[in-house]
Amino acid sequence: MTTVARRFRATTRASSASDGVDPRGGRRRPAAWWGLTPFALYVLAFLVLPCVLALATGFIGGDGGVTLDNLSALAEPSVLRAFGSSALVSGVTAVVGAVIGAVVCWGLTALRPDGVVRGLIDSAASVLAQFGGVMLAFAFIATIGIQGVVTQLLLDAFGVDVFAGGVWLYQVPGLLLPYIYFQVPLMVITFMPAVSGLRPQWQEAVATLGGTGRQHFSTVVVPVLAPAFVGSLLLLFANAFSSYATAAAIISQGAQIVPLQIRAALVSETVLGRENVAGVLALGMVVVMAVLMSLYSMLQRRTERWQR
């Protein structure tokens, strides 16, 4: 074998080894996947295992045996009302958040992507989308609660009672404003990449063919952005449907939505023997979330077709 041939073979082996391919068998070496082991263990320990254990409790009876009797709890009026309230809050806040967020995204297209204003808005959206839980609930209670700053200011200065003698902030309707607060920035984060993907050449092509701006919006923008918009809408619905901390901090009494119904089944001191029902309610939430995320994944794949 010549020296050139030996060098060529050595180079080929080195290249194959660097690509993670075994030059003898043509198979990918498993060592390249060991880097995912810590993350896989983290997901297994803190996501998969707790989820499996929570769902399994729904099929355990009072005697410790496996049973399907707990599934009957999904037909109870209080549970159905909780699912209906969760769906109502999630639907309203998702639609409002999606519409406002889409308008914000459309307005951001007029700004330079690398400009200061655009960067500040993107940063604010990233932060506010995660600003939930007890902090958000406290902010709204301290601002427009019964003894809130704005409530007392309007009452003392103008004699206007924001609550009109009621406590709407501490009931299901009171969840709408806090939820919309973090739904809008989440919509900006998820929908902005699709809006940024609109190409100026498409508008130029419509103008070249004699079309107007309205025709460009109706025949190009709407069909292209529709899958991304509906997908983001589903994501917002799922986000609101699964939110717990904000609702738990605002609604201290009662179980008017599904996450609070699960809490009541776990910690209730007045209704005993309901611990395993929490697993059934969690199963119902998992089914809803699985359907939403499946539809979202389908729409995302359709959106990616024209972004390539």
Number of structural domains (the chain) is 1
What is the pTM (predicted TM-score) of this model? 0.80
pLDDT in tens, 35-89: 788 888 998 998 888 888 888 888 887 667 777 777 888 888 888 999 999 999 9
Per-residue pLDDT at 70? 78
* Distance between CA atoms of residues 288 and 281, nearest Å: 11
How is residue 57 annotated by DSSP? Answer: G
pLDDT in tens, 207-244: 888 888 788 888 888 888 888 899 999 999 999 998 99
Among 4-8, 130-134, 190-194, the range scoring the smallest mean pLDDT is 4-8
The answer to whether the beta carbons of residues 183 and 292 sit under 8 Å apart is no
Collapsing DSSP to helix, strand or coil, 306 comes out as helix
pLDDT in tens, 114-124: 888 888 988 99
179 is in which domain, residue-wise?
Answer: 71-307
* Distance between CA atoms of residues 213 and 247, nearest Å: 43
With bands split at pLDDT 50, 70 and 90, how would you rate the model's confidence at 186?
A: very high
Choose among 32, 33, 52: nearest CA to 44.
Answer: 52
Per-residue pLDDT at 4? 47
Per-residue pLDDT at 307? 58
Choose the most confident range, by mean pLDDT, from 11-15, 107-111, 183-187: 183-187
* Distance between CA atoms of residues 131 and 199, nearest Å: 33
Q: Any residues with CB less than 8 A from the CB of 40 and at least 6 apart, and which?
A: none
What's the chain's average pLDDT? 81
Residue 65 lies in a domain: no
| Domain containing residue 277: CATH number | 1.10.3720.10
Model confidence at 6: pLDDT above 60: no
* Distance between CA atoms of residues 162 and 114, nearest Å: 42
Handedness of CA 201, 202, 205, 206 (dihedral sign): negative
Q: At what angle do helices 77-108 and 258-267 cross, to 10 degrees?
A: 140
With bands split at pLDDT 50, 70 and 90, how would you rate the model's confidence at 28?
A: low
With bands split at pLDDT 50, 70 and 90, how would you rate the model's confidence at 19?
A: very low
What's the whole-number mean pLDDT along residues 171-179?
Answer: 89
With bands split at pLDDT 50, 70 and 90, how would you rate the model's confidence at 103?
A: very high
Residue 289 lies in a domain: yes
> Where would I find the H helices in the chain?
3-18, 37-43, 49-56, 77-108, 116-128, 133-144, 149-158, 176-196, 200-208, 213-216, 222-241, 245-250, 258-267, 277-307
What's the whole-number mean pLDDT along residues 250-274?
Answer: 75
Residue 145 lies in a domain: yes
Residue 174 lies in a domain: yes
Q: At what angle do helices 277-307 and 222-241 cross, to 10 degrees?
A: 160
Residue 9 lies in a domain: no
Residue 49 lies in a domain: no
How is residue 48 annotated by DSSP? Answer: I
